[in-house]
Structure 1
Amino acid sequence: MSNPLQIAVRPLVEYVFRGGSIDSGFRTASTLTEGTKAHQNVQKEYREQDQKEVYLSAEIPYGDLVFVVDGRCDGLLLDEDSIMTIDEIKSTAKDIKLITEEMYPVHWAQAKFYAYMYAKEHRVDRMRIQLTYVQVVSGEHKRFVQEAELAELEAFAGEVIQRYAPYAQMLQQHKRDRDRSIEELDFPFETYRAGQRKLSGAVYKAIEAGVSLFAKAPTGIGKTISTTFPGVKAIGKGLLDRLFYLTAKTITRTAAEEAFTRMQGKGLKLHTVTITAKDKVCFKEETRCTKEYCEFADGYYDRINEAMLDLLSNETLMSRQVIEAYARKHRICPFEFSLDAAYAADVVICDYNYIFDPRVSLKRMFNESKKQTALLIDEAHNLVDRAREMFSSSLHKSDFLAVQREFKGVNTEVFQAAKAVNDYLISLRKQSGDKLRIEKDSPKELAALVQAFALHAERELAASGSRLPSPQLLDTYFACLSFGRIDKLYDERYVTYMEISKSEVSVKLFCLDPSYLLTMFGKGYRSRIYFSATLSPNAYYLDMLGAGEDDYTVSIPSPFSSKQLSVHIQPLSTRYQDRERNKAHLVKLLLKLAAENPGNYLFFFPSYEYMNSVYEAFMEERSGVRTLLQQGEMSEEEREGFLAQFDAENQGTFAGFAVMGGIFSEGIDLVGNRLTGVVVIGVGLPQISLERNIIKDYFSSAGRNGYDYAYVFPGMNKVLQAGGRLIRSEHDRGVLVLVDDRYLQPQYQRLLPEEWKHYQVNERTRGVQTFLTVET
């Protein structure tokens, strides 16, 4: 007989009983807190002999499988006639009068399964099953009651297991095949590169010990395979059930897919799913999830089980293209399909936000599942600013005024709630003569008004039925939900800042230090592996990413010879006030480099404005150098086209002008003669801004170097990433030029990697000297 197959009641009955369409335009999205309050309010009415949150479990054999089903029922009530009642509480924003007894079969199924488990364990012949619906705004209750004999409940549970069994059998067979393939899997390259074995070992030991790892490993070492391979081996040893490979950019997702493709070529059988953003993968012209508009949303839950069985039985690497192909075959939404597949997969490749963002994280990742999951966090230096963004939220007065005008005479409650928020923000503007206000406390009065608006908006949206909901109301509602969630996270690591003008008032809950929340949202996972070529300085990233006392760190030296890289510092000021004066010198430098060492180059700039200005001057020289300019918004096809121009067979010189911190400054591989040299113009400092200055002041008041935290460290990280595009293998050779006199200052010198410190300083007075030819 197979090993027991553990599953909770809710996902079991959802698999069997879910049906219908993806919700029409609006998904009831009451906050978890509101739903919890509704449950608690009902449970407060229980009598002394009643119990709440009762854990139940049962073992159910089926063929060669044994299902271990468990869960917590909301209430276990002893009625006057001594019949036990299972109470299943469901919160809703809908008009409770519209809910009928047979509207939600899945709710009855969940309650009946709890009743079966209790009756079986306690040998009870008859059970009462009660569904209690509670309206989150009014608190109004509506109850439906049924009774069932034990034999009837046993038959029901058996039918549920029978309908779930084909899927479970497929997963069990896959698990056996998977574990056997992992046991036989060797490292998918002939040899380890220098440093790869050390990194792989550190990753495995961190997972084994159940701690986090912060790994600094140079570009070109093969970090992706050095983290995924030990993660896969940990699954084979039973340490993990699942890996999440988290990235900030689509281009680094491709590297992860390639790593699993390579391992599959060596015999690995693993279910790997890539989640692509909804707006990118949607089959329709507009991303509008209504059954009236989208045939892929209409009847989605009637077809999803068959589609999942088909996909998982026939595929292992489920890339965007594979997901789309099966979604079209079964006429289902590709985005929702990828999410459903992710819960069944061994490996999920996705953006950071599916784990860390409180607004969009995967809600069905239960604690037991997290304990057997490791997070592989690629290019982890990006997570600091991304986390600040995920843990912050804004509201704008103009949105509430627009809703107020739209719903005047249409819905009094929505109108009044929008007006209350708008009036509050108007009073804020009148009270303050400043264009900017910064406060350390959360705006509790505003938060209460926003919450009230969200509840009334939710009722209106839920009542819209098949009608297309108001886009303005929907957007404002979701902004309020976000604001409410972030307000609940607000602590001493936040500030509230308000920007005020004649026509607008914007309020932002701004997260300054994301380390605590990153730790909280990462809590429960067996291990978190943060890795990047540029986790430097080490202390800064350990601080900002929330390292604990027991966590591991590892720093892998560069495996490449210093002879492969010719490094030059050109002490030419690129400070904002000097840029126009020194532009001609910079163009001369770039032209001389191109003339002396023909090949393919990337020239990186700190901003689009500066890049475009230098590009225009460069083109006026009519040098014969072929060029390509990065655009602000580029489709995936345009990005691929840009990179394709870096051909090893190019004649003469080809130069790509790009922006530091952009899509071409990290996560791309231009191996060999595809890239001859990189020029990094400036020290990458972010532009002086309100938020950067708030961050600076916050960390300065906390005893750290606020300017470094807000400007220098993030800026130099961009420099290191851009320069790291050059040497990607032991065969690569190239020229790296750092253009700025600040590179000679100790503050910046100490942030240069060891492999760059054999630089040559070009003479200031003569402008540009001959660049050394790299040894071959």
Structure 2
Amino acid sequence: MEENKKIEQVRISVRPLVEYVFRSGDIHTGFRAVTALHEGTRIHQQVQRTYKEGDLKEVPLKTEVFYNNIIYLLEGRCDGLIYLEDGLMVDEIKSTSGHLADLQGGHDIHWAQAQFYAYMVAKEQNINHMQVQLTYIQATTSEEKQFRRTYTIIELEAFTLDVVKRYAPYISMRLQNAHLRNESIRALTFPFDSYREGQRKLAGAVYQTIKEGKKLFAKAPTGIGKTISTLFPSVKAIGEGLLQQIFYLTARTTTRTAAEQAFARMESKGLHIQTVTLTAKEKVCFQEEISCRKEDCPFADGYYDRINGAILDMLSQETLMDRSVIEQYARKHNVCPFEFSLDAAYAADVMICDYNYVYDPRVSLKRLFEEQKRQTVLLIDEAHNLVDRGREMFSAVIGKAEFLQLQRQFKGIDAGMFEASKAVNQYFIDLKKECGEHRQKLWKEYPVKLVSLLESFILQAETTLLQQGNGVATSQQLLLDTYYAAQNFIRIAKLYNERHVTYAEVHRNGVTVKMFCMDPSSLLSQAGKGFRAAIFFSATLSPLHYYRDMIGAGEEDYSLTIASPFHREQLDVRIEPLSTRYRDRENTKETLVTLLIQLVQERKGNYLLFFPSYQYLQDVYESFTEAYPQVTTIVQGIGMAEEEREAYLASFQDDNTETLVGFAVLGGIFAEGIDLQGDRLNGVAVVGVGLPQLGLERNLIKDYFNSTGKNGYDYSYVYPGMNKVLQAGGRLIRSEQDTGVLMLVDDRFLQRQYQGLMPEEWK
């Protein structure tokens, strides 16, 4: 009976509700005629300062709407509540870089948002009518334009209910999927016949960390089954009501596949859960050339008119939504597959994606609300990668060449754009003189003058870009690219702290300025703030204190080290004390080649040989093939395409009739995240201790950590280098049946410092 149907409660903010119902039109190029967040906040405050005494600003509002056995708990915050002689008025403030003359009556979404706030106020204060005002501010000129309407409580109530009715099919589908999910989780058992040694301990620690809302740093050996050991307890936590979402973050496509396979296995055991895998735009785009202008892309043209139907269709029928599933529905509904995957991911139980969707300030998931974060766990796979990735995310570089080009391009065409580009170009000319003979300059603060010039450049660029209409002509691509680069530079400047340094370099193509993040720990910690829990796991979080320090652990956060479940007899470790230091390589090359040939001649099989650089690899490869031409060899190339990488790995077959020797680079695509079980891999040689190349940035990191009382050389060189060695060596033993030979070639492997960083089974 309908009257006995359970009443559900749904909590939602006004803004995502009205955006879902009223969004329409096209995907733009990514350029928006709206200022950055900090600018928007300043403009809001500028308007709010004009309010009279007694008027209210940033007013929190909430109400309940009942429809079809669902109570909608609506929340929002209106910019202003103004007392007029004839009643109350809600003021909704929006900033824009566009021309106010182009605004015709205000935007539907803005009116809808303001009407909701008016209804919430009227209902709470028992008022019969409300005035609603939209205030638009031009960011450059501070010019204002206002639109005002009056509504009765009856009109507002009818509008609110109508919007909720239009949202109801989507939320009903979400609730139905949640019921199926929770019932299946309660019945779900561990999807393998038994736990491997150490798996139960890891799974238990993950669940307890989620329960307590902490961080866990787990060093668990290769082959233990870390993916299922983190996902299974997280899924169980959803069933217990501790979580609503899981974000599985990876650095590589190969580890993303492991997560997809783990969910497929749990689904085969009865789990009903919805996962969405995000694939990079350049990989998933249907067009030959990426252009999100509606004139160039039929999947961008009218995207928002079709997206709600596409999401309802896919989420009503699918559970594991990988790239192929997303592409299938994107073509069916004629929508952009990349944007479609993002929109679907917000509604899914699990998001499988790259680190940058959470940590990178340029691309992080901006629509995630704090309430949603508090019910989400971050599972960070191969977490050792997050240190250098964090440095990249929180650093920014910009150069002179583009601004000189723009200055020439807009001369006599657009005076404002010409002057803005010229001012930035002149800054670089002056900076080049300051660099002098050293061709370099270093300073501790962010470049204040450059940031100011870039802010002016951005405002002018927005005006110029808007004059092109919704799209940007191909001839203006340089301006658009430079606009994004300037925005990113300013974004990082606002995150700049004592862990950054700024340096300028003069080179053949001109001058560049880089704000370099030496220690990303505080910014990584800040980016992860608000989530329920975070699990950082890898086989090579060694030493643990270094990764806790670099990723931003608190004293209350947990650490866990799990011993290898494999027997020592499975791995034959040999250390060859031969110097592979740069200065000795030519003298020791002949001996090294002899050692490698002896290794692969011992038994027929498949071997991977890892080198610290492409140049060293190439030198040894030439000598190796000259001395041993009869063996089959394959070589990792620079910038291999996806098909080439797959072909390289596919060469390692367990039924190869002849020995295969693969040459690869330490820290490269074949040194981690690949799984060659059984006789697909019989031996690995790691040449050198993996130290990063000497250079300015590595030395800056070293000096910074020395100044904080730590061993700067270890933090900058030894630990990152040894991590590459551990990852490469970890390719060999992947299951209880695997056996093989691991040859470590360098005399430093016998030093106490390096021995202390090795796993027990290597010693």
Q: Same fold by TM-score, threshold 0.5 exceeded?
A: yes
* Corresponding residue number in structure 1 for 2:401: 398
Q: 1:164 & 1:518 partners in 2: Cα distance?
A: 36
* Corresponding residue number in structure 1 for 2:282: 279
* Corresponding residue number in structure 1 for 2:149: 146
Q: Map of 1:593-608 to 2, 5 A cutoff?
A: 593-608=599-614
Q: 1:379 aligns with which of 348, 362, 382?
A: 382
What is the deviation of 1:743? 0.5
What's the CA shift string for 1:72-126, capped at 9, x where partnerless? 1111111122x21111111111111111115x21111111111111112221110
- 1:244 and 2:247 equivalent? yes
SS at match of 2:255: helix
What is the deviation of 1:65? 1.2
**Relative to structure 1, is the Cα distance of residues 554 and 71 closer, same or farther in structure 2, using a 3 angstrom cutoff?**
same
Q: 2:104 aligns with which of 97, 100, 107?
A: 100
Q: Map of 1:660-699 to 2, 5 A cutoff?
A: 660-699=666-705
* Corresponding residue number in structure 2 for 1:446: 450
Q: 2:76 aligns with which of 64, 71, 75?
A: 71
User: Residue 292 of structure 1 contacts residue 466 of structure 1 at CA under 8 Å; is this kept in 2?
Assistant: no
What is the deviation of 1:26? 2.8
User: Residue 25 of structure 1 contacts residue 290 of structure 1 at CA under 8 Å; is this kept in 2?
Assistant: no
Equivalent pairs, count:
755
- 1:738 and 2:741 equivalent? no
Q: 1:643 & 1:28 partners in 2: Cα distance?
A: 46
* Corresponding residue number in structure 2 for 1:765: none
Q: 2:589 aligns with which of 583, 596, 620?
A: 583
* Corresponding residue number in structure 1 for 2:47: 42
* Corresponding residue number in structure 1 for 2:343: 340
* Corresponding residue number in structure 2 for 1:768: none
Q: 2:345 & 2:317 partners in 1: Cα distance?
A: 16
User: Residue 606 of structure 2 contacts residue 679 of structure 2 at CA under 8 Å; is this kept in 1?
Assistant: yes
What's the CA shift string for 1:51-86, capped at 9, x where partnerless? 1111111111111211111111111111122x2111
Moved more, 347-356 or 624-633: 624-633
Q: 1:525 & 1:513 partners in 2: Cα distance?
A: 22
SS at match of 2:346: helix
Q: Map of 1:430-445 to 2, 5 A cutoff?
A: 430-433=433-436, 434-445=438-449
**Relative to structure 1, is the Cα distance of residues 326 and 502 closer, same or farther in structure 2, using a 3 angstrom cutoff?**
closer
Q: Map of 1:236-315 to 2, 5 A cutoff?
A: 236-315=239-318
User: Residue 606 of structure 2 contacts residue 652 of structure 2 at CA under 8 Å; is this kept in 1?
Assistant: yes
- 1:12 and 2:4 equivalent? no
Q: 2:410 aligns with which of 407, 410, 413?
A: 407
What's the CA shift string for 1:196-249, capped at 9, x where partnerless? 000000000000000000000000000000001111111111111111101111
Q: 2:128 & 2:40 partners in 1: Cα distance?
A: 33
Which runs of no fewer than 5 residues in structure 1 stay unpaired? Answer: 758-776
* Corresponding residue number in structure 1 for 2:3: none
**Relative to structure 1, is the Cα distance of residues 674 and 24 closer, same or farther in structure 2, using a 3 angstrom cutoff?**
closer
Letter matched to residue 97 of structure 1: A
User: Residue 25 of structure 1 contacts residue 288 of structure 1 at CA under 8 Å; is this kept in 2?
Assistant: no
**Relative to structure 1, is the Cα distance of residues 589 and 330 closer, same or farther in structure 2, using a 3 angstrom cutoff?**
same
What is the deviation of 1:503? 5.2
- 1:167 and 2:173 equivalent? no
**Relative to structure 1, is the Cα distance of residues 654 and 331 closer, same or farther in structure 2, using a 3 angstrom cutoff?**
same
* Corresponding residue number in structure 2 for 1:117: 120
Q: 1:559 aligns with which of 556, 565, 571?
A: 565
Q: Map of 1:338-737 to 2, 5 A cutoff?
A: 338-433=341-436, 434-469=438-473, 470-501=476-507, 504-737=510-743
**Relative to structure 1, is the Cα distance of residues 212 and 593 closer, same or farther in structure 2, using a 3 angstrom cutoff?**
same
Q: 1:12 & 1:189 partners in 2: Cα distance?
A: 41
User: Residue 34 of structure 2 contacts residue 95 of structure 2 at CA under 8 Å; is this kept in 1?
Assistant: no
Query: Stretches of 4+ moved more than 6 A in 1?
Result: none
**Relative to structure 1, is the Cα distance of residues 442 and 466 closer, same or farther in structure 2, using a 3 angstrom cutoff?**
closer
What is the deviation of 1:538? 1.1
Q: 1:53 & 1:462 partners in 2: Cα distance?
A: 30
What's the CA shift string for 1:718-764, capped at 9, x where partnerless? 0000000000111110100001111011121111111100xxxxxxx
Moved more, 683-692 or 407-416: 407-416
Q: 1:467 & 1:209 partners in 2: Cα distance?
A: 48
**Relative to structure 1, is the Cα distance of residues 7 and 615 closer, same or farther in structure 2, using a 3 angstrom cutoff?**
same
Q: Map of 1:196-215 to 2, 5 A cutoff?
A: 196-215=199-218
What is the deviation of 1:441? 1.4
What is the deviation of 1:476? 0.9
What is the deviation of 1:467? 4.8
Q: 2:650 & 2:600 partners in 1: Cα distance?
A: 20
Moved more, 616-625 or 591-600: 616-625
* Corresponding residue number in structure 2 for 1:218: 221
* Corresponding residue number in structure 2 for 1:771: none
Q: 2:363 & 2:507 partners in 1: Cα distance?
A: 32
Q: 2:393 & 2:34 partners in 1: Cα distance?
A: 18
What is the deviation of 1:645? 0.8
Which runs of no fewer than 5 residues in structure 2 stay unpaired? Answer: 1-5
- 1:26 and 2:31 equivalent? yes
What is the deviation of 1:25? 6.2
Q: 2:175 & 2:739 partners in 1: Cα distance?
A: 49
User: Residue 8 of structure 2 contacts residue 69 of structure 2 at CA under 8 Å; is this kept in 1?
Assistant: no
User: Residue 24 of structure 1 contacts residue 465 of structure 1 at CA under 8 Å; is this kept in 2?
Assistant: no
Q: 2:679 & 2:432 partners in 1: Cα distance?
A: 59
Moved more, 294-303 or 421-430: 421-430
Q: 1:265 & 1:133 partners in 2: Cα distance?
A: 54
Q: 1:147 & 1:337 partners in 2: Cα distance?
A: 37
What is the deviation of 1:160? 0.4
Letter matched to residue 12 of structure 1: L
- 1:755 and 2:761 equivalent? yes
Q: 1:248 & 1:577 partners in 2: Cα distance?
A: 33
What's the CA shift string for 1:7-30, capped at 9, x where partnerless? 110111111111000025633352
What is the deviation of 1:653? 0.9
Q: 1:5 & 1:490 partners in 2: Cα distance?
A: 39
Q: 1:25 & 1:18 partners in 2: Cα distance?
A: 16
What is the deviation of 1:466? 4.2
SS at match of 1:598: coil
User: Residue 245 of structure 2 contacts residue 350 of structure 2 at CA under 8 Å; is this kept in 1?
Assistant: yes
User: Residue 465 of structure 2 contacts residue 472 of structure 2 at CA under 8 Å; is this kept in 1?
Assistant: no
What's the CA shift string for 1:412-448, capped at 9, x where partnerless? 1121111111111111112331211111112111111
Identity in percent = 60
Q: Map of 1:48-87 to 2, 5 A cutoff?
A: 48-81=53-86, 83-87=87-91
Letter matched to residue 327 of structure 2: E
Question: TM-score with structure 1 length normalisation?
Answer: 0.96
Q: 1:622 & 1:388 partners in 2: Cα distance?
A: 42
User: Residue 273 of structure 2 contacts residue 349 of structure 2 at CA under 8 Å; is this kept in 1?
Assistant: yes
User: Residue 435 of structure 2 contacts residue 505 of structure 2 at CA under 8 Å; is this kept in 1?
Assistant: no
Q: 1:502 & 1:636 partners in 2: Cα distance?
A: 32
What is the deviation of 1:468? 2.6
SS at match of 2:560: strand
